[in-house]
C-alpha cells in the first residue's frame, strides 16, 4: 500500500495539535494553523491524521520539519521565547549563534545558563556573564576566567554576589576593579537609601501615633490605626494640630 504523502502543512498542523494538547488548559490567545477550540475537537483531528498518515510517519515528518528550520529562525526563537524547555532544547543547537541568543535571553533557566557557561566560545560565555538570570554560583565561576572581558562583565552584573565582587575589586585588571567597586558602591547607596527611608517611616509613624493619642484614642486603637494607615484619613498630624491650636488662640485674642 502506497504511503500517503505528508506535506509540510500537515506536519505543522500535527505539531500544533500536539503542542496544544500539551498546554492544557487551552490558551485561546495562541495563534495556530487550525480552528479547533476544544480538547475533543483537537483530539479527534489528531486521530484522523494518525489514521490517515500513520503516527510514526507524522512524528518523523515533524522531526524533519524541525531540521529545516533556518538558523535565523532559531536565533529569533532563542531571543524571544519565554519557554524554558524550548530554550533548553535550543541550547543544544550545533550553532554557536543560536546558543549565544539563548544565553542572552533572561527567560533561560539557571541550569541551562550554567551549561552554556561551560562553552569554549567566548561570546557565549560573555552573554551568560551579562545575563542577570545567571546564578551567583555560575557568575562566581566565570569570575575566575582568564578572559578579562568576561571578568569585567561579571563585575558589572547586578546578580553577582558581594563575595565575588570583593574578589574582583582586587583583580589585576584596573577596568575589572573599577566595575566591581562601582557595583559594590551602588549597592551600598541603595542600602543606605532603604535604611534612611525606613528611619523616616518610623519617625512618621511615631508622630502619627502621638497625634492619635493626643486626640483621645486609646494606645491599642492608636497603634491599630497607624498600622492600618488610617491615620491620615481620621486624625490630623501633630503639626496640623499645633497649627490648628495657634489659629484658635489668634481668633480668641482678636
- pLDDT tens digit string along 128-142? 999 999 999 999 999
86 & 64 share domain: no
Residue 125 contacts residue 117 (beta carbons within 8 Å): yes
109 & 45 share domain: no
Out of 50, 68, 86, pick the residue that ends a domain.
68
- Give tens-digit pLDDT for 69-120: 788 889 999 999 999 888 998 998 989 999 999 999 999 999 999 999 999 9
83 & 141 share domain: yes
64 & 106 share domain: no
| 2 occurs within a structural domain | no
pLDDT at 45 exceeding the cut of 60 = yes
| 135 occurs within a structural domain | yes
| Domain with 62 in it | 8-68
Whether the predicted model's global pTM rises above the 0.75 cut: no
| 174 occurs within a structural domain | no
Alpha-carbon distance values, 228 to 56, 234, 238 (Å): 63, 11, 18
Question: How confident is the model at residue 199, as a pLDDT?
Answer: 64
Return d(Cα 240, Cα 177) in angstroms, integer: 52
- In degrees and rounded to multiples of 5, residue 107 shows phi and psi of -85, -10
Q: Specify burial of residue 189 (Cβ count, 10 A radius: 0-12, 13-18, 19+).
A: exposed
3-state DSSP helix/strand/coil % of the chain, to nearest 5: 70, 0, 30
202 & 155 share domain: no
Question: How confident is the model at residue 71, as a pLDDT?
Answer: 85
| 177 occurs within a structural domain | no
To the nearest 10°, report the CA torsion of 215, 217, 220, 225: -60
148 & 77 share domain: yes
In this structure, of 13-27, 35-49, 81-95, 173-187, the range with the lowest mean pLDDT score is 13-27
Average confidence score pLDDT of the chain: 81
| 205 occurs within a structural domain | yes
217 & 144 share domain: no
| 245 occurs within a structural domain | yes
195 & 136 share domain: no
Confidence of residue 40 (pLDDT cuts 50, 70, 90): confident
Alpha-carbon distance values, 173 to 59, 117, 159, 218 (Å): 53, 22, 21, 63
| 178 occurs within a structural domain | no
Confidence of residue 193 (pLDDT cuts 50, 70, 90): low
pLDDT at 24 exceeding the cut of 70 = no
Alpha-carbon distance values, 47 to 7, 44, 55, 80, 218 (Å): 17, 5, 9, 32, 73
Contacts of 57 (CB under 8 A, 6+ apart): 3, 6
Q: How many domains would you assign to the chain?
A: 3
25 & 107 share domain: no
pLDDT at 62 exceeding the cut of 70 = yes
Amino acid at each position: 500500500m502506497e504511503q500517503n504523502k505528508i506535506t509540510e502543512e500537515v506536519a505543522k498542523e500535527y505539531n500544533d495539535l500536539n503542542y496544544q494538547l500539551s498546554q492544557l488548559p487551552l490558551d485561546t490567545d495562541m495563534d495556530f494553523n487550525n480552528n479547533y477550540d476544544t480538547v475533543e475537537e483537537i483530539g479527534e483531528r489528531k486521530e484522523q491524521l494518525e489514521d490517515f498518515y500513520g503516527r510514526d510517519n507524522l512524528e518523523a515528518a515533524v522531526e524533519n520539519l524541525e531540521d529545516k528550520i533556518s538558523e535565523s529562525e532559531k536565533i529569533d526563537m532563542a531571543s524571544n521565547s519565554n519557554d524554558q524547555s524550548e530554550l533548553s532544547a535550543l541550547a543544544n543547537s550545533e550553532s554557536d549563534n543560536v546558543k549565544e541568543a539563548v544565553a542572552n535571553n533572561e527567560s533561560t533557566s539557571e541550569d541551562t545558563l550554567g551549561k552554556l557557561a561551560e562553552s569554549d566560545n567566548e561570546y557565549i560565555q560573555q552573554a551568560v556573564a551579562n545575563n542577570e538570570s545567571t546564578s551567583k554560583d555560575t557568575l562566581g565561576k566565570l569570575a575566575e576566567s582568564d578572559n578579562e572581558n568576561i571578568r569585567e562583565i561579571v563585575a558589572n552584573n547586578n546578580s553577582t554576589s558581594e563575595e565575588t565582587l570583593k574578589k574582583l575589586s582586587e583583580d589585576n585588571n584596573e577596568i575589572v576593579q573599577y566595575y566591581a567597586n562601582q557595583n559594590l558602591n551602588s549597592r551600598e547607596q541603595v542600602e543606605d537609601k532603604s535604611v534612611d527611608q525606613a528611619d523616616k517611616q518610623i519617625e512618621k509613624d511615631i508622630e502619627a501615633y502621638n497625634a492619635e493619642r493626643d486626640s483621645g484614642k486609646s494606645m491599642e486603637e492608636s497603634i491599630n490605626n497607624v498600622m492600618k494607615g488610617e491615620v491620615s484619613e481620621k486624625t490630623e498630624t501633630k503639626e496640623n494640630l499645633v497649627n490648628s491650636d495657634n489659629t484658635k488662640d489668634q481668633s480668641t485674642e482678636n
